[in-house]
Amino acid sequence: DADVTQTPRNRITKTGKRIMLECSQTKGHDRMYWYRQDPGLGLQLIYYSFDVKDINKGEISDGYSVSRQAQAKFSLSLESAIPNQTALYFCATSDPGASSYNEQFFGPGTRLTVL
Amino acid sequence: QKEVEQDPGPLSVPEGAIVSLNCTYSNSAFQYFMWYRQYSRKGPELLMYTYSSGNKEDGRFTAQVDKSSKYISLFIRDSQPSDSATYLCATGRGSSNTGKLIFGQGTTLQVKP
């Protein structure tokens, strides 16, 4: 099923370009997250949002910005892409009322390459 | 030092072997412990969770937590080629807190037929 979708799935861009990665969900969850995954580093939290008006920085927010356009949409922007932002990017959602352990549901990922 | 440490492997085992995957964590405030499984070119999916010391079984999978030593394990019995994936441990303080999860680096497992 496609409860959490990400576009594009793959993107190659050049240094200095502005890039937007989009995430949409049909799960009705309030909480949304953006992670990046690098080999050997696991998942690192970039930004998270508990609702449309609540956006918080994660561990590695420098060089990134986000926009929560609606409950179902959470976009990640790279204002001026650099090669070390080459990574796999995941969007995730969660419903705090559904589980005390905050199960997160991930999209399929966007593979971004910055040349 | 990362809050959650996990050996990235890779780990290669023959079909039918018992697999042991391990993580350590540093913050005693963490209350929930999870294992996510990530197949190639897919997002992670929750495999198991637990919130207390001891063992939790689900079919061929057993999650084990030792809070006194801050150690998390996942055991896979009778491993199958379909178990080939990256396994990520994760921990956090729960939904009533920030709900943030801290992930380990992930261990890549290959089960050979």
Q: What is the DSSP string of A24-51?
A: EESS--SEEEEEEEETTTEEEEEEEEEE
User: Mean per-residue pLDDT for B27-41?
Assistant: 92
Residue of B37, B64, B61 whose CA lies nearest to B53: B64
> What pLDDT shows up at residue A1?
56
Contact A72, A93 (CB under 8 A): no
Question: b/e for B42-78, b at 16 or more Cβ within 10 A?
Answer: ebbebbbbbeeeeeeeeeebbbbbebeebebbbbbee
Beta carbons of B106 and A42 less than 8 Å apart: yes
Digit-by-digit pLDDT tens for chain A (115 residues) are 569 999 999 999 999 999 999 999 999 999 999 999 998 888 999 999 999 999 999 999 999 999 999 999 999 999 999 999 999 999 999 988 887 778 899 999 999 999 9
User: Mean per-residue pLDDT for B30-35?
Assistant: 92
Count contacts between A and B (CB, < 8 Å): 68
Q: Which of A31, A39, A58 sits opposite B99 (nearest CB)?
A: A31
> What pLDDT shows up at residue B97?
67
d(CA B102, CA A34): 13
Instruction: Say whether pLDDT at B22 is over 90.
Output: yes
User: Mean per-residue pLDDT for B17-24?
Assistant: 96
User: Mean per-residue pLDDT for B12-40?
Assistant: 94
Which residues of A have a CB under 8 Å from any CB of B? 4, 31, 35, 39-45, 48, 50, 58, 90, 92, 94, 96-97, 99-104, 106-109
Question: What are the tens digits of pLDDT across the range B45-98?
Answer: 999 998 888 899 999 999 999 999 999 999 999 999 999 999 999 998 876 667
Contact B99, B1 (CB under 8 A): no
Phi, psi dihedral angles at A83 (to 5 degrees): -55, -35
d(CA A15, CA A85): 10
Phi, psi dihedral angles at B74 (to 5 degrees): -130, 125
Q: How far apart are the first and last CA of chain A?
A: 33
> What pLDDT shows up at residue B95?
65
Contact A92, A105 (CB under 8 A): yes
Interface test with chain B among A29, A43, A95, by most B beta carbons within 10 Å: A43
> What pLDDT shows up at residue A63?
95
Structure tokens at A34: 């953006």
Beta carbons of A92 and B43 less than 8 Å apart: yes
pLDDT band at B7 (very low <50, low <70, confident <90, very high): confident
> What pLDDT shows up at residue B102?
92
> What pLDDT shows up at residue B24?
96
